[in-house]
């Protein structure tokens, strides 16, 4: 059963704050303040950049109202206490009524929405849901209701974008932003709501660079997004995550392969197999590593992270956060943080491929 | 005079609208209260229901229109049974036996869940756990064998606890096999349950009984061995003919799991 804000299990953070003055100045210049999550992700350059930008992605191909609702629905479905609180507060500051938000949270049938909007929320819930794999029939339903292929691709990207941030925040157990959560109901919040709403809108992010040339990693996924700012964003995230040196490329490819294998995504299975051959695995070694979650190419710490990756597909917050805390002590926080980013990106990429592939 | 009637009519109409408005508001409040109450009831039901059937089945049944019709799946089946339990029941106080059994089942269920196994049946002191029956699990064989090894460890710890309370220690036999089964909700409209049907279930059960003959605790079939890598230390046992099978069954004792350094 989908949970409400105060019913979500949440523990103390699993990853510590690391101050990086240059990075904090950059964040402040971009959005005006440095949040806890930006400091906890600061040791990983590619991850911190996505965490700063992706939650502010502005959809081009479908109404803003649906994009606003998407953040709330994904956070609730993924039981991310941190993101749920932020999404709820943002919606209140953007002018959505408490009643409407309550209705979306409790029962979408009660919310004052059109059939097309309800279908979008169903799509959003099913794609966000950690188990089972996303159903294609929801996508066909949206096409039938008149959304374009490009709009659906952007919807899917926005949902997996939120799922990525939800997973990272849940794995880190980022503390809820109490100050922001209390703002909409405070006297100041009520009096200056339009101003706060406008300020929030003004930090929206659109990728202005266009994708040049062919995407190198997971081209089948990125190509489905061509024509959208999301194409560049997704390609950049995948390339930088795979190029990062905090974890070996072999481990990262196996992590993607484990998620693809679990969600039975044929495209990503083939893609990860080809990538594995390129980086030095034989076919037999790769298949054996995937079947046993163990490989002579990996050290003991890397094997632990690979075994953990399969847990990231369908999980419950409390056991997952306690497992990460324990694992972070064994492998070290920098490696754990990187693994959190890679596993979250793998889950988002594979889900997108299952749906759009 | 007409104006007075007109204003009076207007006021009465306004009054009626106000009465209707407040009545509706009151009704809405009652409905919201009822909805909250029903939600709480549903949550309670889900929690209680969760004790009788795997959580994934409940999620599936509540979140979709499908009835979880049985489908053919490749599943790993683990059977665990206590040795000498019947004798213990004859010799000791039933309340004490129940306490020992509940403690044992709790420990084993925790280990099985940790390794992605669904405890599907508790038959007296017997446990039937399935791996890969509810969702795709490419690592089901490894999960089941690792679960069995951890169950061995958990039983040692539980026996320490029993010994400290001067209670009798337990020993078990585990049989593991993989094969095609029909898995889903079975039964009729009045009484249904999540269950599995297939020869793999019988084979796993027979393999569990062989642990008595081979005087060991964890036995697996060659179907399982084919999917294990060389980190698992196994010992081949002589083939034995079992009830209901024309060919003798070859089994292997799972001795231990080697770590990265080979120890």
How far apart (Å, rounded) are the C-alpha atoms in residues A73 and A78? Answer: 8
**In this complex, do A291 and B259 lie within 8 Å of one another by their Cβ atoms?**
no
Pick B67-257's CATH classification: 3.30.70.1230, 3.40.50.2300, 3.40.50.11890, 3.20.20.100.
Answer: 3.30.70.1230
- Residue B121: exposure state from Cβ atoms within 10 A (0-12, 13-18, ≥19): middle
Residue percentage of chain A with pLDDT more than 70: 96
- pLDDT bracket for residue A183 (50, 70, 90): very high
**In this complex, do A264 and B136 lie within 8 Å of one another by their Cβ atoms?**
yes
- pLDDT bracket for residue A108 (50, 70, 90): low
Helix (H, G, I), strand (E, B) or coil at A282: coil
- Quick check: A111 pLDDT over 80? no
Of B35, B42, B231, the CB nearest to A294: B231
pLDDT digits (tens, 9 = 90+) for A24-51: 999 999 999 999 999 999 999 999 999 9
Cβ atoms of A47 and A41 closer than 8 Å: yes
Q: A1 CB near a chain B CB, below 8 Å? A: yes
- Quick check: A312 pLDDT over 60? yes
Lowest mean pLDDT among A96-105, A270-279, A280-289, A304-313: A96-105
Residue of A nearest to B31 (CA): A110
Average pLDDT over residues A154-169: 95
Of A261, A303, A314, the CB nearest to B138: A261
Average pLDDT over residues A77-102: 92
Q: Which residue has the higher pLDDT, A137 or A171?
A: A171
Task: Give the pLDDT confidence score for residue B135 in this predicted structure.
Answer: 82
How far apart (Å, rounded) are the C-alpha atoms in residues B66 and B185? Answer: 11
Average pLDDT over residues A211-222: 81
pLDDT digits (tens, 9 = 90+) for A337-347: 999 999 999 99
What residues in A contact B178, CB-CB < 8 Å?
none
**In this complex, do B142 and A106 lie within 8 Å of one another by their Cβ atoms?**
no
- Quick check: A124 pLDDT over 90? no
- Give the list of residues 6+ apart from residue B226 with CB closer than 8 angstroms, or none: none
Structural domains of chain A sorted by starting position, each given as residue range(s) with its CATH number in brackets: 5-202 (1.20.1290.10), 219-356 (1.20.1290.10)
**In this complex, do A291 and B139 lie within 8 Å of one another by their Cβ atoms?**
yes
Task: Single out the residue of B90, A262, B136, A261 nearest to residue A276, CA to CA.
Answer: A261
ipTM > 0.90?
A: no
Say whether the peptide bond before residue A132 is cis (omega within 30 degrees of 0). yes
Lowest mean pLDDT among A62-76, A179-193, B27-41: B27-41
Task: Give the pLDDT confidence score for residue A90 in this predicted structure.
Answer: 94
Its pTM stands at: 0.84
3-state secondary structure A185-217: HCHHHHHCHHHHHHHHHHCCECCCCCCCCCCCC
Q: Residues of chain B whose pLDDT is less than 70? A: 49-67
Query: Could you tell me the residue ranges of all domains in chain B?
Result: 1-49, 67-257
| Cα three-residue angle B99-B105-B106, rounded to 5 degrees | 90
What average pLDDT is seen over chain A? 90
């Amino acid at each position: 059963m989908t949970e409400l804000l105060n019913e979500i299990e949440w523990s103390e953070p699993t990853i510590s704050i690391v101050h990086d003055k240059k990075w904090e100045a950059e964040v402040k210049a971009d959005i005006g303040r440095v949040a806890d999550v930006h400091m906890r992700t600061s040791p990983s350059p590619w991850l911190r950049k996505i965490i700063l930008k992706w939650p502010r992605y502005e959809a081009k191909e479908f109404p803003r109202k649906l994009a606003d609702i998407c953040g709330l629905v994904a956070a609730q479905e993924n039981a991310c206490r941190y993101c749920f609180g932020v999404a709820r507060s943002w919606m209140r500051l953007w002018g959505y009524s408490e009643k409407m938000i309550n209705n979306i949270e409790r029962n979408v049938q009660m919310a004052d929405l059109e059939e097309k909007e309800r279908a979008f929320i169903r799509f959003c819930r099913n794609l966000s849901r950690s188990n089972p794999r996303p159903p294609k029939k929801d996508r066909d339903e949206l096409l039938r209701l008149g959304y374009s292929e490009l709009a659906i691709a952007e919807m899917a990207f926005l949902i997996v974008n939120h799922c990525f941030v939800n997973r990272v925040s849940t794995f880190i157990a980022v503390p809820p932003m109490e100050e922001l959560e209390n703002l909409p109901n405070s006297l100041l919040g009520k009096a200056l709501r339009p101003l706060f709403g406008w300020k929030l809108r003004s930090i929206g992010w659109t990728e202005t660079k266009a994708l040049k040339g062919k995407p190198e990693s997971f081209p089948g996924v990125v190509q489905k997004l061509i024509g959208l700012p999301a194409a560049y964003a997704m390609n950049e995230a995948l390339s930088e995550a795979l190029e990062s040196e905090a974890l070996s490329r072999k481990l990262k490819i196996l992590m993607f392969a484990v998620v693809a294998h679990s969600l039975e995504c044929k495209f990503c299975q083939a893609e990860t197999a080809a990538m594995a051959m390129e980086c030095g695995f034989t076919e037999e070694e790769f298949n054996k590593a995937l079947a046993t979650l163990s490989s002579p190419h990996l050290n003991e710490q890397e094997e632990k992270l690979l075994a953990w990756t399969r847990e990231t597909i369908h999980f419950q917050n409390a056991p997952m956060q306690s497992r990460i805390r324990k694992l972070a002590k064994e492998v070290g926080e920098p490696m754990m943080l990187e693994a959190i980013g890679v596993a979250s990106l793998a889950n988002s990429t594979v889900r997108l491929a299952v749906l759009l592939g | 005079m007409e104006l007075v009637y007109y204003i009076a009519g207007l006021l009465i109409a306004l009054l009626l609208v106000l009465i209707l408005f407040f009545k509706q508001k009151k009704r809405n409040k009652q409905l919201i209260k009822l909805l909250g109450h029903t939600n709480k009831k549903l949550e309670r039901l889900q929690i209680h229901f969760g004790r009788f059937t795997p959580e994934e089945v409940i999620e599936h049944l509540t979140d979709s229109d499908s009835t979880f019709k049985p489908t053919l799946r490749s599943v790993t089946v683990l059977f665990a049974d206590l040795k000498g339990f019947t004798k213990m029941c004859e010799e000791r106080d039933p309340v004490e036996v129940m306490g020992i059994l509940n403690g044992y089942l709790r420990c084993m269920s925790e280990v099985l869940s940790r390794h992605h196994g669904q405890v599907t049946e508790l038959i007296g002191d017997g446990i039937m756990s399935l791996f890969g029956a509810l969702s795709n699990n490419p690592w089901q064989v490894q999960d089941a064998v690792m679960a069995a090894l951890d169950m061995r460890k958990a039983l040692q710890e539980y026996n320490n606890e029993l010994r400290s309370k001067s209670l009798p220690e337990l020993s078990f036999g585990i049989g593991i096999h993989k094969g095609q089964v029909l898995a889903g909700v079975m039964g009729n409209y009045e009484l249904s349950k999540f269950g599995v049907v297939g020869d793999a279930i019988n084979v796993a059960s027979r393999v569990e009984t062989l642990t008595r003959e081979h005087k060991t605790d964890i036995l697996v079939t060659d179907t399982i061995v084919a999917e294990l890598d060389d980190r698992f230390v196994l010992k081949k046992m002589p083939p034995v003919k079992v009830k209901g099978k024309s060919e003798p069954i070859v089994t292997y004792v799972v001795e231990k799991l080697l770590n990265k350094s080979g120890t």
